[in-house]
Structures are given as C-alpha cells and as structure tokens.
Structure 1
Amino acid sequence: MTQYTHPKYGTVLRTPDNAFANLPDYPFEPNYMEVDELRLHYVDEGEAVNGTLFLMHGQPSWSYLYRHMIPQFVAAGYRVIAPDLIGFGKSDKPAAGKVYSYQAHVDWIAAFVGKLGITGANAFFQDWGGMIGLRVMEKHPTWIKRMTVANTALSDVKGPMKLMLPNILRLMRFFAGKPTIADLAQKQSYGNWAGYFKHSARIEISKVMQILTTKTLTTAEVAAYDAPFPDSRYHAATRVMPQIVATQLNAAQAAWEHLRQSQVPTLVLFSDKDPFLAGQGIDQQFMALPGASGQPHVEIENASHFLQEDAGVELATRVLAWMAQEASPRQAA
C-alpha cells in the first residue's frame, strides 16, 4: 500500500518499503506505532541497561541522520529510540500541506511518547527535533531527565517583537523570490531556505543535506536522504515546515518558561559552521537554563547544521561521557 484515505487528513502517502532497501549503515529493523490513525516509524535498538535515549531529527532529514551514533549508544548500554516525524522518513506522509501545523507535530510526538510510556529518559534534540521535543517535555514533564541540545532553537519573543516576527519572516520569504538550489548553496538565509521549499517544483533533499554538511556525502548516502520522497507528492511536510517556524509563539514561550523552572541537566553542543544558528546567541540561551550551569558545553568544530553527519562519532562520545558523569552521583533508571 502506497496510498490510503485518512478520515481526517484525506490522502496519505506511504513510501514503499523497497525504497529503503540496502541503505548504507542503517541495518535497523523498522518499528511502527499508530498515532492519530497515522503510521509513525521509529528505530528501537538496544537494552536500557543505563537508560533510554531519544534521538529527535528535524527538517528535511530522518532517523538515518543518526545511523553512526546509534551503535555507539547501544554499545554503551542504552536503549535508543529514534522516531521519524510524520511526513518524513518511513513515517506516513499526508499529502495536504495544511495538515502540518506546529501543533500537529507536537501532538503526534506527544502521543508517541505517551504510548511508549517511558519516563526518566535522555534526549538529543536537533533542528525541529528540539522545537517539537522541548514542547513535548512540557506536556510530559517526567519524559526527559537529561537532554542535549544541538543546533536547535525555540522562539522566545515578547512584546512587540511577537507581533513583528511573523511579518519579518514573511517579508524575507517574499524578497527572496523563488530561490533555486544554486541560490541556497550560495547563501543559506532564512529567505532562501523557506523560499526554496515553498516554490521549487523539484525539491532535492540530498543536495540540501550536502549544502548543510561539511563532509562529502557518498552516492549511497545521497540516495538514502532522497529515499523517503519518491516524487513531489511526498514533499508536503518539507515544504510547510520552514513556513511555520514563527507560529504558536505563545506556546513556545510557555515551553521556555517550563524549561527555566526545571532542573533538567542540559548539554549544549552547537557547531561552528551552522549558517543559520552559529553566532546567533541561541546556544547561550540554552546555557542560561538552570540545568545547563557548569556542564561541559563544547562548540563542535568544522561541522555545519547537520552536525550528526559531520561529527556523529564525536557527538556520541561527548554525550556518553557526559551522561555517565551525570549519572554517577545519582544513578538513574
């Protein structure tokens, strides 16, 4: 089955299984859960000897992004859970763009977390994985006991800026026109990013991933990033998400207030060559959280936005050392 009719969302596409055959370094058995009558895929590897670790991806990637990190975490005694957001990877993909609101993504992952019933877990949040996951933490305050934030953000705007920000981003999209992949390669601005995904007749996911990594992807890796999207009909989520980054600002701010009142230990690992977030002070916002005080935050060198590709082994090594250090005085479940 590659297509079916959902009672609420209409046409839903499902990438054929053979599109994912023989992916390099991705031997993980698929797992599926129904959320909101949609099939959500997730990797579930290892035994929770030292705990459970959630790995949350963003747009336009999928759990394949974590393929080099998962074995390290499993070998260290962690159960690793890496879901594919609805609209991405092996998860179902509603064909209508209007389905993909910020709230919908939060609700889908919150339902996933609730059904798993895991508490006291660890998390690695990157890109939209943080924007969604940090809000889910507010809904499920016992879900995460320790988190790493890496090249992610969560809007925290007050006063007049809350009214101005959506208009500012709208103008940036407008003045960018209809950027091509070459325009995005030349300049990774918000306008070019959002404009490319909104207007491009043919979205080239693997080329986007290559633009936002410092390493050179192999031919097989290129194919793996393109695999979830056999044709343009599958791209509704990838098109919409850049357009909704400044929606639900009140909900995002409420999530920030929850974080500021929590003591969840927080490790910040931003990269030095992220064209969107490096040098913007967002890492400092996370470092100001109570649970981030005194933690071994590091800037990951020679890594772009998708730092899991550029420095996956280093990231996993640093996270494992930190989790072991955090757990030693008060061994967690």
Structure 2
Amino acid sequence: MRILRTDEGRFTDLPDYPFAPNYLDVAPDLRMHYVDEGPADAPPVLMLHGEPSWSYLYRHMIPLVASAGYRVLAPDLIGFGKSDKPAAVEDYSYDRHMDWLVNWVEQLDLSNITLVCQNWGSLLGLRLAAENPHRFARIIVGNGMLPTGENRVTTTFTLWKAFASYSPWLPIGRVVQLGTDRMLSKGELAAYEAPFPSDQHKAGARAFPKLVPVSSEDPSSAANREAWRALEKWRKPFITCFSSGDPITRGCDRYMQRRIPGAYGQPHTTLRGGHFLQEDSPREFARIIIDALKSQMAA
C-alpha cells in the first residue's frame, strides 16, 4: 500500500481553524490526525465528518462545545484532511475504515462518549457505537444513516456515486458548496481543497460512494444488519438533528426514531440548511449537543 501525506504547508492560515494538530498511528505507517480541544478529563464529544470533508467541517462547533466544558475530538478519517492517504481506491474498504477508527478510539481509551456524526461519519459512527456500546453515552445524528442495502437509494446518491467514480475532475470544494445553502468564501473553499494537492490524494474521497451498501449482498451489509440489531436495543439517548434541505438523507431521521428505543421522547430537531448542516447552522447544532450533555448532568 502506497501512502501519501499532505504537506503541512497547505494547512497554513486556514480560516477559523486554529487547532493544534494531534496524530496517532492506526496501522503500520498510517497516521490519523485529530483535533483535541477542551479539558482533557471532561466527557468526550466525538465529531465524525463524512464525504468529502474533514474536521474543518466542525470548526465553528468545536470551540463552542469545548468552551462549555467538554473535550471535543474531531478526527480526520484516513484519506481525508491531515490524515495519511492510501493512494489507490482499492486500498479502502468499509471494514478497514472501521478498524482504523476502532484502533484510534482504543488507543485514546475513550469512554462516556457523546457521538456526533453526519454522512459517512454516521455509517462508521453508528456501527462503532453499536459494536462498542460500553464506550458511548449518547448518539446525535445529523443527516446520516446506517444503510444495510435493503432500502432503495436516492437518485441524488446514484448520480453522486457515478460522478465520484468516473469523472476525471473531482472538485472537493465545489462538492461541499453544492451541499451547503450559504455561500462559502474563497478561503473556505480552499480549505476543503487543501488536503488534496493531486488526484491521487483523492482516492479516499472517490472510494467512499462505492463502499455504501446498496444491496443485501454487499460485503458490509451483514455487519451493518448486526449493528442494527444492537441499535434496536439501544436505550441510551439517541437524538436526530437533520436539516431542512438535504435530498440525500431526507426521512432517515424518522426511520431511526421509529426503530431505536433511545430516540423516544428525545428533542429531535430540524435545522435550516443543506446536507452540510455544520456549515449552515453550526451554532444551533452545537447548542443541541451542549443541551444534551447538560441534561445528563441534571438527571
């Protein structure tokens, strides 16, 4: 496996991203970057990004939750952000992503975690929590789902999968802009492009759409169905925080609310925005997280 590493100079002076870098090896010669802000002994809030973003997506939320007294951890998934990037699309699989993320959580020995996840952060995060329930205190999902391949995928996703797989041009910043209602600045668009100085660096971004289970025969479908069996017994708080304008995951919030016991009676919310609600409603999203943590303290 040939591993690429984005030069640190590409991350200089990014708008609203002052966070010190942290790194852990999650496989031999494979380094994962993560943001770690707030008191080290405080309850951890794990923010998982998706496709094709990185921890930069949470830049407006991290300081708000950390200043409320919580430890915020936002890793860059392998292939994204400041993390290392295997150069071939074939180097990526659902199970490998899970292994890398589990290794990272275990090395940090995180517990009492509040999971915040969106997009592929949900495909990985929901399975992570289902398979390691002793480490998690609650789950907050924004525009995400855990697919098993048994439900029909949207036309929007089918088109995106074809584009990511076959287009010779994969403009990461423009993709994020298409999923965001507000206009991103030139600096913000450049920040989303920063991890990817060449097309070879984008192998992880091209791989993700192919890894979403679209049939029950998919290699990851069985493990995801098993995770759903665990989620159907999940009685810890489970909160959905979807946006009003996401064509990809619309309706998945109600589906999860019906199937997961921990969702009953929770303050489910619809926020203004597109697929990347962290860009459109970061303060409101952060407030939901903080209120959920405070409710635990008051209980």
2:253 aligned to which of 283, 307, 315: 283
Normalised TM-score (structure 2): 0.94
Hey, what's the Cα distance between the residues in 2 that align with 1:84 and 1:64?
9
Larger radius of gyration: 1
Normalised TM-score (structure 1): 0.85
Tell me the alpha carbon deviations over residues 244-302 of structure 1, each in whole angstroms, 9 at most, x when there is no partner.
10131111111111111121211110111002112xx311122121111101101112x
What is aligned with 1:25? 16
Instruction: Say if 1:110 and 1:140, in contact at 8 Å, map to a contact too.
Output: no
Instruction: Say if 1:48 and 1:77, in contact at 8 Å, map to a contact too.
Output: no
1:293 aligned to which of 246, 261, 264: 264
Hey, what's the Cα distance between the residues in 1 that align with 2:77 and 2:156?
24
What is aligned with 2:294? 324
2:193 is equivalent to residue 226 of structure 1: yes
Q: How is 1:293-312 mapped onto 2 (pairs within 5 angstroms)?
A: 293-301=264-272, 303-312=273-282
Between 1:190-199 and 1:84-93, the stretch displaced more is 190-199
How far apart are residue 49 of structure 1 and its match? 5.9
1:133 aligned to which of 122, 125, 144: 125
Hey, what's the Cα distance between the residues in 2 that align with 1:147 and 1:327?
16
What is aligned with 1:238? 205
Hey, what's the Cα distance between the residues in 2 that align with 1:319 and 1:70?
11
Quick one: which amino acid aligns to residue 299 of structure 1? T
What is aligned with 1:266? 238
Hey, what's the Cα distance between the residues in 2 that align with 1:262 and 1:113?
20
What is aligned with 1:252? 224
Hey, what's the Cα distance between the residues in 2 that align with 1:195 and 1:120?
39
Instruction: Say if 1:39 and 1:91, in contact at 8 Å, map to a contact too.
Output: yes
How far apart are residue 147 of structure 1 and its match? 1.3
What is aligned with 2:141? 149
Hey, what's the Cα distance between the residues in 2 that align with 1:300 and 1:287?
17
Hey, what's the Cα distance between the residues in 1 that align with 2:162 and 2:89?
15
Instruction: Say if 1:130 and 1:149, in contact at 8 Å, map to a contact too.
Output: yes
Q: How is 1:6-45 mapped onto 2 (pairs within 5 angstroms)?
A: 9=1, 11-37=2-28, 38-45=30-37
Instruction: Say if 2:65 and 2:289, in contact at 8 Å, map to a contact too.
Output: no
Stretches of structure 2 that go unaligned for 5 or more consecutive residues are none
Stretches of structure 1 that go unaligned for 5 or more consecutive residues are 1-8, 173-187
Hey, what's the Cα distance between the residues in 2 that align with 1:116 and 1:212?
32
Hey, what's the Cα distance between the residues in 2 that align with 1:65 and 1:216?
14
How far apart are residue 200 of structure 1 and its match? 1.5
CA RMSD of aligned residues (A): 1.5
Percent of aligned positions that are identical: 41
Instruction: Say if 2:143 and 2:275, in contact at 8 Å, map to a contact too.
Output: yes
Hey, what's the Cα distance between the residues in 1 that align with 2:17 and 2:253?
30
